[in-house]
Structure 1
Amino acid sequence: MLFKILGGILVIFSSTMIGFIIAGFYQQRPRALRNLQLALSMLETEIDYGQSPLPEALNNVSRRCDPEISRFLKRVRQLLLSMEGYTAGEAWELSLREFKSQFPLQESDFEILTSFGKYLGSSDKDDQIRNLKLTLSQLRQQEALAVEEKQKNEKLWRYLGVLTGLTVVLLLY
C-alpha cells in the first residue's frame, strides 16, 4: 500500500515537473529575445556613434548585457581575434551553433540571427546599421509572437502536467 502511494506521488510529481519545464520555455523565450534586442541595440550604438571596430564593439557590449548573451558575444570576439582567419560572419555563425542549446529560442529566431551574421562586418557602417535595424525589427516581431505563445501555453502546460499525472494515477489504481 505504501509503495502504491509513493508511486502515485512520484508519477504526479514527475509529470508536473515536465509540465513546468515546458512552461518555463514559454516564459524564458520573450526575455531572451528582449535581451538580444538590447545587446544588438548597444552594438548598433557602438558601431554608429562610437565608431568602434567590431571586436572592440563586441567587447564593450558584452560587458553591459545579459550574462548569457555576454558569453556569446565574447566567443564571437574571441573567434574574430583568433589567428584562424574567421570572418565576422563565420565567427558569429560558429558561436551561434555553440550556444544554440543555451538559448531558449525557436528555429525561426535562430534563422534571423544567422541571416544577421552573414552580413556582419562585410559592408560599410551604413549597411551594418541597416542590417542591425532590420534584425531588431524582426526580433521585436518574434518577441510579440513569443508573448502571445506564452500567454496561451504557459498555464496550459502547467495544468496539463498535473492533470496527466493525476490521470495516470487514477488509471493505474
Structure 2
Amino acid sequence: MYIKFIGAAFLIVAGCMSGKEISSNYLNRLRQLEEIKKTIIFICGEIKYNNSNLDYVFTKISKNSKEFIKEFLESVVKDLNGNTEREITDVWCENVEKEIKTKTSLEASDLNDLKDMGNLLGITDKDTQINNMNLYLEKIQLQIDKLEKEKDEKCRLYKTVATMFGLLIVITII
C-alpha cells in the first residue's frame, strides 16, 4: 500500500520537475537570444566604428563574453587561424552547428537565422555586413519580444500540463 503512495508521489514529482525543466529551457532560450543580440551589436559596432577585421573583433568580444558565446567565438577564431584557405562563412556555420546547437536551448529557426547572418560576414563590403547584421538584429528582437510577451503564460502552462500529466498517469495506474 505504501509502495503505491510512494510511486504515485514519485510520478507527480517527476511531472512537476519535467514541467520546470521545459520552462527553464524556454527561459534559457530567451536569455541566450538576448546574449546573441548583445554580441552582434558589439560586432557591428567594431566593424562600423573601429574598422577592425573579423579575427580581431571575435577575439576581442570573446574576452568579454560569457557562456556559449565565448566558446563559439574562440572556436571560430581558432578554426580561421588554423586554416587560411577556409572562408569565414563556412567556419561560422560549422561552429553554429558545433558550439551553439549543442550547448544552447535555441531552436532550429534561431540557428538558421544565425547561420544566414553569418553567410555575408567577411565576403561583402562593410556596409552590407552592417545592414545584414541590423536585419538580423530586427529579427532577433521580434523573437525576443514574442518570447517575453508569452513568457509567464507559457511557463505556467508547461508546469501545469506536466503536473497534470503526472497525475493522469497516477490515476491511470491506480
TM-score bracket, normalised by the shorter chain, equals: over 0.9
Structure 1 residue 131: deviation in Å? 1.3
Percent identity over paired residues: 27
Structure 1 match to 2:136: 135
Q: Which residue in the other structure is 1:116 paired with?
A: 117
In the other structure, the counterpart of 1:74 is 74
Q: Are the aligned partners of 1:59 and 1:73 in contact in 2 as well (CA < 8 Å)?
A: yes
TM-score normalised by the chain length of structure 2: 0.93
Structure 2: distance between partners of 1:56 and 1:157: 43
Per-residue CA deviation, residues 84-128 of structure 1 (Å, 9 max, x unaligned), is: 622110010000010202121122211211111111110121111
Match of 2:93 in 1: 93
How many Å separate the matches in 1 of 2:7 and 2:77? 51
Distance 2:138 2:64 in 1: 21
Distance of 1:49 and 1:128 partners within structure 2: 13
| Distance in 1 (alpha carbons) for counterparts of 2:89 and 2:77 | 11
Q: Distance in 2 between matches of 1:129 and 1:94?
A: 22
Runs of 4+ in 1 over 6 A off after TM superposition: none
Secondary structure of the residue aligned to 2:52 is coil
The code of the aligned residue for 1:150 comes to: K
Q: How many residues align?
A: 173
The gaps in structure 1 that reach 5 residues or longer are none
1:60 corresponds to which residue?
60
Q: Which amino acid in 2 is paired with 1:36?
A: I
Runs (5+) with no aligned partner, structure 2: none
Aligned to 2:172: 171
Q: CA RMSD in A?
A: 1.4
Alignment of structure 1 residues 13-52 onto 2, 5 Å: 13-52=13-52
